[in-house]
Every structure is written in structure tokens, then in C-alpha cells.
Amino acid sequence: MSGETNEFSAAAITDDQLVPWPRVAAVAAMVSFSLPTFITGLEVSQGLSAIDALWALLAGSAIILIIGAIMGAIGANSRMSSYLLVRVAFGDVGASLVNIAFAISLLGWFGININLFAGAVSRLALEVWGTNLSTVGLAIFASICMTLTTLVGFKAINLLATLMVPILAFVTFLLAQSALDAQTFGQILAIDKTPTLTIGDGISAIVGAIIIGAIILPDITRFVRHWSGAVYTAIIAYMIVQLIVMGAASLAGSVSGKTDILDIMIDLNLGLGAFAIVIAGSWVLNSLNLYSTILSVKATFPKSNSSWLAVGLGAVGVITALLNILDSFVTFLFYLSVIFIPVAGVIIIDWMLIRPKAYSLSTLDQNGSVNTPGLIAWAIGAAFAVLASEELLPTLTGIAAMDAVILAGLVYTGLAWRNREVQAS
């Protein structure tokens, strides 16, 4: 048990807990195989011409790769979770607000994904087998499985991902192959449609849907033996698997003309494949959501019991899902997610330029209460992210999330540079 509870605490990941980077990459890849990734690829392809959608997928994946590779490398180098990185970047007291907001957001998405899972499985069972399954029963059963997986820890999540990646890769291949059997790639590119999005909108949709996962990538890359493994993990997850998954969804959507990925897969006689994506993808994604929620709470309240946290937080997530109060909570969760994005800019600049030596568990007990420049930079970046997402402010790159990260990093560099020079002297 000491090893299992240790991974949730502010203690160093021990050498016997480290794993080869492909095993960590399998977990990150499983998130890319989840239903939201297919849906994002489909939405982008529906709103853009085939060529523009391809460029949006490439650019969006490249941006996520850069952020994920840097954040993942920081986690691997320091062996710290994203929430401990937040403690260093913002101070013990300053980080409390950020980490609790992280926990609320991740737990909210845990509940939303439970709802999506139960509804999708119930619908697939009816359409594929003609069987009625209770969404309440499915939600409770799923939450129990996901909570138990989280209780065991990273090893259980890693084992599940390693087993399921080949299956979901095969399903994704079948989805793309079925679309190409119906029409050639050239015919798909030639499909005439009226764009409802710009390429910038498409890139923003991709970045916005995936960026939180890239920011909290240290939660799993801290288990790799060398920081280069974290970079390889990001490349495989974001530039290979994510691109293939979104590309397959785009091909299938272009051929069918439908906007629902489950309808498309059923029409292509991939009902069992849809089951695999919904069940396996949701299981790993939500186990990671709960896992990261525990890490965020433990970073703020180190003495809390990890096992009881998992059970309690899992129960809260499924209860809110069953009460159907999350529908009115989605907008709040969206904005909560948006304000997280600038956190990456502060952490990356702090680690690379301002205080690289502070990112060590051995000096965590010497951490300050509040890093004022970091909080100011985050607040400015978060305010920009919210206003830009509402189109109340123009964006430099056309991608509000990216502008928010860059702005927070630049503001923090300006505010903290003098402190760096003092420390260097």
C-alpha cells in the first residue's frame, strides 16, 4: 500500500514506480481514443472543407504537442504532478485556489462523462442488440469500476490502457477503411460544402478540447525514467494517435454526411467498435479525471486520505450525474477550463527561465506562500481567455487558448525577471 498511496502524496516517485515510456504513452493514447476526440474531429470536418479541415487538424495537433511535450518533460524531470507544479509556480496559498478550481472542473467532467457513457451505452445496446439497459444502473456500475481503477492507481490505469490500445487502434482503422471503401480519398477531398468555420475556428476547437489534458500530462509523465520519454509520449498521443482518430472521424463524417459519431459507426456496421470506444475510452479518461482530482486535492490538503478521497469524490461525481444537475453546470465548467489554460504559460516560463531549481520535491518544504507575479500573470491571461472566447477581444494568433498561454508567459517574464537576476547573483 505504501507505493499506492505514495503516488498521491507530495513524496518523490521512487525508482521502482518508474516505467518505460511506451507504457505511459499508452495511457495518453487512450485519452486520444476517447469519444470526445472523435466528436471534435467530426465537428471540425463538418464545418470546413476537407483541405482546410486537414490543415486545422495538423496545426491544432502541433500546438497541443508543443504544450504537452514541455509540460510532460517538466513533470518527468521533477517527478512532480501538475498540481505540485502549480504549488511551486503560485505558492502554497496561491495554488490552493488554482488546485481547488482544477478539482471542481475535473470532478464536473467526471460526472458529465458518466452521463455520456450511460446514455451512449444504453443507446448502442438498444440499436445493436435491441436490449433496454437502465442508464442509472449503467452510471452506477461505470462509476464503481472507474473508482476502483483509480484506487489501485497508475498501474491499473496503465494496464487497462495497454490492453485496450490495440483494440481501439483496430476499430479506428476499420472506421477509416470503411469510409475509404465508400469513396476514394480524392473524392472525399473534392466534396463540395459550405464552410461554417474558419481554419482558425477549427484549430481553436481542437486546442480547446484537448489542451487541459496536455497541461495535466505531468500527472502520468512523472512515471517515465527520462524527460525524453515524456516528449515521445506527447508525440505519439497528440501528433500520431490524436491526428489519426480525428482524421478517421473526419473521413467517416464526410462520407456519411451525418453529425453523430455513433450513428455513423452503426451505419458502417461498427456497432461493436462503438461499444469498445465508448466503454474503454470513457473508462480510462474518467479514471484519469478522478486520479487527477485526487492529486489536486492532495496537493492542497496533504493529510487527506487518498482512498477515502477516491470513494467520496467518485460518489459525488455519480450523484451529480444522476441528479441531472450537470446540464446547467456545463457552461460554468467550460469557463473554469478556459481560465486554467494560462497556468501552463506561467509554469513553463518559471521552469525554463525564472526559477528552474525550485522545481524539486527536495525544496518543496521551502516553497513560499504566494508567488504574486505568477498570480497576476495568470489572472491577466485568464481574463483575456474568457473575453477572447466571447469574442470581446481580438486574438493575435486567431486561437484564444494559445494567446492566453503566450500572454501569461510574457507578463510573468516581465514581472519576475528582476527576481531571477537577484537569485542569479
pLDDT in tens, 15-41: 888 999 999 999 999 988 988 889 889
Main-chain phi, psi angles of 160, to 5 degrees: -60, -45
C-alpha cell at 419: 527576481
- CA 48 to chain centroid, in Å, comes to 24
Cβ burial of 145 (10 Å; 0-12, 13-18, 19+) is: middle
Q: Hey, which residues does 19 pair with through a beta bridge?
A: 224
Mean pLDDT of the chain: 87
Q: In the predicted model, is pLDDT for residue 322 greater than 50?
A: yes
User: Quick one: pLDDT band at residue 425, thresholds 50, 70, 90?
Assistant: very low
Q: What percent of the chain has pLDDT over 90?
A: 38
CA distances (Å), origin 15, targets 72, 224, 226, 282, 342: 18, 10, 11, 30, 32
Residue 333 CB contacts under 8 Å (≥ 6 apart), including other chains: 105, 108, 109, 112
Contact by Cβ (8 Å): 299, 80: no
What is the 8-class DSSP label of residue 222? Answer: T
Output the pLDDT for position 333. Answer: 60
Cβ burial of 360 (10 Å; 0-12, 13-18, 19+) is: middle
- DSSP character string of 52-118: HHHHHHHHHHHHHHHHHHHHHHHHHHHT--HHHHHHHHH-HHHHHHHHHHHHHHHHHHHHHHHHHHH
Q: What is the pLDDT of residues 205-252, one digit of tens each?
A: 888 888 888 999 999 999 999 999 999 999 999 999 999 999 999 999
C-alpha–C-alpha distance, residues 425 and 417, integer Å = 13
Q: What is the mean pLDDT of residues 50-65?
A: 91
C-alpha–C-alpha distance, residues 403 and 389, integer Å = 11
Q: What is the pLDDT of residues 329-358, one digit of tens each?
A: 556 667 776 788 899 999 999 999 999 989
User: Quick one: pLDDT band at residue 14, thresholds 50, 70, 90?
Assistant: confident
Model pTM? Answer: 0.87
Output the pLDDT for position 69. Answer: 97
User: Quick one: pLDDT band at residue 325, thresholds 50, 70, 90?
Assistant: low
Nearest to 212 by CA among 139, 148, 293: 293
Q: Is 79 left (phi over 0), alpha (psi -120 to 50) or beta?
A: left
C-alpha–C-alpha distance, residues 35 and 38, integer Å = 5
What is the 8-class DSSP label of residue 281? Answer: I
Contact by Cβ (8 Å): 99, 86: yes
Nearest to 347 by CA among 92, 164, 41, 84: 84
Q: In the predicted model, is pLDDT for residue 102 greater than 60?
A: yes
Least confident among 83-87, 141-145, 180-184, 361-365: 361-365
C-alpha–C-alpha distance, residues 396 and 80, integer Å = 33
Q: What is the mean pLDDT of residues 377-395?
A: 86
User: Quick one: pLDDT band at residue 12, thresholds 50, 70, 90?
Assistant: low
User: Quick one: pLDDT band at residue 10, thresholds 50, 70, 90?
Assistant: low
Alpha helices in 281-399 (DSSP H): 282-300, 306-322, 330-349, 372-389
Cβ burial of 368 (10 Å; 0-12, 13-18, 19+) is: middle
